[in-house]
Homo-oligomer: A and B are copies of this chain.
């Protein structure tokens, strides 16, 4: 398996091994020697591609964040359902979700000028929410940016919940929880016929 790999194949193998290691252990806990061994590469060859552990971490994070946020798309006529997609994504790609969280704790930016290849997800989604407000599907009283953050909060509420009993029961309860998150989102966004209950 060694020796015949192209530079691109070796690089992909390193990034793939790093993804597994970083998702499990975070930036500080990950070990370069485990990544190199898992990629069947020498540490010297690894450092020829990536300056240091943090550079490799940033590469994996940028990739994972792009995948995480482009895997869900909000459309103006299905804003509540978007929360169900977010719920599913955290369950189907827990390693991406973990990377986003490690990066936040490590103070590593996920958006902004340093990650040009990552689409500017908040701005794109905010534009869709504005369109949904114009179409009468979302209460125009909401600040679009605020609503977007709240919708992610609902969709990821179980993924963030620190009680391990939730995780252990996740499979059997997932359907009911997903429906609850979507229902909560539908109630939050619903345009109000009158303002008297505000």
The residues of A with any CB-CB pair to B shorter than 8 Å are: 25-29, 65, 98, 100-105, 109-112, 122, 142-143, 146-147, 149-150, 152-154, 156-158, 160-166, 176-177, 180-181, 183-184, 187-188, 190, 197-198
The 3 closest A-B pairs by CB, nearest first: A153-B157, A28-B29, A28-B28
12 A-B pairs with C-beta separation under 8 A: A28-B28, A29-B29, A101-B101, A111-B163, A142-B180, A143-B180, A146-B177, A149-B157, A150-B180, A152-B157, A153-B156, A190-B197
Besides A105-B105, A150-B154, 16 more A-B contacts (Cβ < 8 Å) are A25-B28, A28-B28, A28-B29, A101-B105, A104-B160, A109-B164, A143-B176, A147-B180, A149-B177, A150-B157, A152-B161, A153-B160, A154-B157, A156-B160, A160-B160, A184-B188
Q: Inside 8 A of A28's CB, which chain B residues have their CB?
A: 25-26, 28-29
Q: Would you call the interface of chain A mostly helix, strand, loop, or mixed? A: helix
A142 to B177, CA, bound (A): 11
Q: Inside 8 A of A198's CB, which chain B residues have their CB?
A: 183
Q: Inside 8 A of A105's CB, which chain B residues have their CB?
A: 26, 98, 101-102, 105
Q: Inside 8 A of A184's CB, which chain B residues have their CB?
A: 150, 188
